[in-house]
Amino acid sequence: MLVENKDVLRERLKEIFGYDQFRGNQEAIMQNVLEGRNTFVIMPTGAGKSLCYQLPALVQQGTAIVISPLIALMKNQVDQLNAHGVQAHFLNSTLSKTEINRVKKETLAGKTKLLYVAPESLTKDENIEFLTKADISFVAIDEAHCISEWGHDFRPEYRRIRSIISRLGNLPVIALTATATPKVQQDIQKNLQMEDADLFKSSFNRKNLYYEVRPKKHTKKQLVRFASQHKGKSGIVYCLSRKKVEEIAELLRVNGFKAAPYHAGLDPQVRMQNQDAFLNEEVDIIVATIAFGMGIDKPDVRFVVHYDTPKSLEGYYQETGRGGRDGLEGHCLMFYSYNDILKLEKFNKDKPVTERDNSKVLLQEMASYAESSVCRRRQLLHYFGESYEKDCGFCDNCLNPREKYEAREVLSTVLQAVDQTDQRFGLQHLAELIHGTENQYILSYSHNQLPVWATGSDEPLDYWKSAIRQALLYEFLEKDIENIGVLKLTPKGDAFLIAPHSLSFTLDHDYSTDEVEEENE
């Protein structure tokens, strides 16, 4: 049976999609789906997730349901599949009654191989009733990170998916995402009740991307100079607001670059034109809000600039991931200012409490990334739960290393603080404990009585926060997956407490003097 599947999959890969071989884990993932097992796929954008459910759907009887959050994405995939001669349809709010009836009819007749459904449509009673009558092969959940409140792209209706799948019978599920920190991953599996799923996680390392962060100071001048160094090459400049997009596109045009804006406020036709102009290389630089890029597959994007500091490392990783798809160099430049972080925090003011708290955590992670002088790739990969044991040699921090210091004593102090507080506290509390901040929490736990209390009062609070982050990064500490924010000792941390050794940490960047000037720009 397995061997047969293998042959069939390969044949269809060539026959329908015209590809000679599978990429990465694709084949193993498809086998897993065909065996009827729950499957969890974490693979970077552009690695080929879609095929992982499209092909198994084609070689099986019945219809596979594909749940996808974006109507544009859905339409894109269905169009592509139809062009390959595959029977695929979508069910969403853009369809008329007649169209809906036709889709239902073809699905019930067993002709539709893939049925794309928006989560809002899935939860409608009449659709559930129809789906219970159809012969469903399996369910694919694309962009599965939308299930998690701890991620950057939470969609409440995604949390209802599980109960609906259960009503359709005992169906195998394949969940896919391009971004999942260990916490989000756990949350997805729990919510979908697929803790038993086989996990296929590919490396998130994009070797050909160069990561750089610069203080947000004389940003326009810096941008123009940067763009001149890449003149004639394709690039994306992300800005936070529509207004900024317009302004920066104009700035680049005035300076002789072929640039165009892209944001949701533009007339759809103009937006399409600008996107096409970028794809056809009539325009070199697209200046855009983060609305741009979903499903865009331009291989030779040579640079991605974040003019404003992004909201989360997830978003940052996804957006920079649009650079260098062809395997050649992509320069990822981000302008950072703590003012941006504060502005973004203000935007969240009116959100529900949990959402606001989560956004704040994501923003703090962003700030630590930008301010740290540790290898960028190491930080990014660690954030996504991947061990990367060396410095990459291909990021700004690796090429221009900042001052290092002997950290034996410092790390001992940090680990003792965790140990003496029974591994039940987070970064802020631990730093305050070591630094000797006398606040109500410290006092209410009598932590000012502990041996480690105030042993680091010579250094500022930020110094200790930076040290604790490095203890995390180098895996002496780990985040407690059950209790958000809590830090625990790893076996490596335990070993260090018993037998400390020499090692070096780096001081954070100090951008504080740059903030003021940015405001006056």
Paired tokens of 278: 């970028």
CB of 177 or CB of 373, closer to Zn ion: 373
CB of 43 or CB of 414, closer to ligand ADP: 43
Per CB under 6 A, 500 contacts ligand ADP: no
Per CB under 6 A, 145 contacts ligand ADP: no
Per CB under 6 A, 45 contacts ligand ADP: yes
Residue 210 binding result from ligand ADP, Zn ion, none, given CB thresholds of 5 to 8 Å by partner type: none
Residue 50 binding result from Zn ion, ligand ADP, none, given CB thresholds of 5 to 8 Å by partner type: ligand ADP
Tell me the C-alpha distance between 160 and 118, whole Å: 12
- The interface with ligand ADP within residues 296-335 (CB under 6 A) comprises 297
Per CB under 6 A, 46 contacts ligand ADP: yes
First to last CA, the chain: 67
CB of 23 or CB of 207, closer to ligand ADP: 23
> Nearest-5° angle of CA 158, CA 164, CA 170?
120
Among 14, 23, 207, 343, binds ligand ADP (CB under 6 A): 23
Per CB under 6 A, 108 contacts ligand ADP: no
Among 49, 152, 244, 306, binds ligand ADP (CB under 6 A): 49
Per CB under 5 A, 392 contacts Zn ion: yes
The minimum distance between CB 211 and Zn ion, in angstroms, equals 7
Residue 297 binding result from Zn ion, ligand ADP, none, given CB thresholds of 5 to 8 Å by partner type: ligand ADP
CB of 64 or CB of 392, closer to Zn ion: 392
> Nearest-5° angle of CA 241, CA 246, CA 252?
120
CB of 19 or CB of 130, closer to ligand ADP: 19
CB of 47 or CB of 131, closer to ligand ADP: 47
Residue 392 binding result from Zn ion, ligand ADP, none, given CB thresholds of 5 to 8 Å by partner type: Zn ion
Cβ burial of 394 (10 Å; 0-12, 13-18, 19+) is: middle
Q: By CB under 6 A, which span of 38-46, 103-111, 185-193, 284-292 interacts with ligand ADP?
A: 38-46
Per the CB < 8 A criterion, the answer to whether 329 and 300 are in contact is no
Per CB under 6 A, 294 contacts ligand ADP: no
**HEC profile for 250-296?**
HHHHHCCCCEEEECCCCCHHHHHHHHHHHHCCCCCEEEECCCCCCCC
Per the CB < 8 A criterion, the answer to whether 39 and 174 are in contact is yes
Among 64, 237, 395, 411, binds Zn ion (CB under 5 A): 395
- Alpha carbon 183 to its chain centroid, in Å, reads 13
The minimum distance between CB 138 and ligand ADP, in angstroms, equals 17
Cβ burial of 161 (10 Å; 0-12, 13-18, 19+) is: buried
Check the CA dihedral 383-389-394-400 and report its sign: positive
Per CB under 6 A, 48 contacts ligand ADP: yes
What is the SS3 assignment for 222? helix
Paired tokens of 98: 């007649």
CB of 19 or CB of 394, closer to ligand ADP: 19
Interacting residues of 407 by C-beta distance below 8 A, sequence separation 6+: 467, 470, 503, 504, 505
CB of 296 or CB of 367, closer to ligand ADP: 296
Q: Which of 48, 54, 55 is nearest to 11 (CA)?
A: 55
Q: Could you give the C-alpha distances from 21 to 2, 26, 401, 405, in angstroms and in order?
A: 18, 10, 41, 49
Residue 333 binding result from Zn ion, ligand ADP, none, given CB thresholds of 5 to 8 Å by partner type: none
The minimum distance between CB 398 and Zn ion, in angstroms, equals 3
Site string for ligand ADP, 393-432 (x = CB under 6 A): ----------------------------------------
Residue 162 binding result from Zn ion, ligand ADP, none, given CB thresholds of 5 to 8 Å by partner type: none
Per the CB < 8 A criterion, the answer to whether 141 and 176 are in contact is yes
Residue 64's H or E segment, with its range, is: strand 63-67
Where does this chain bind Zn ion (CB under 5 A)?
Answer: 375, 377, 391-392, 395, 398
Where does this chain bind ligand ADP (CB under 6 A)?
Answer: 19, 22-23, 26, 43, 45-51, 297
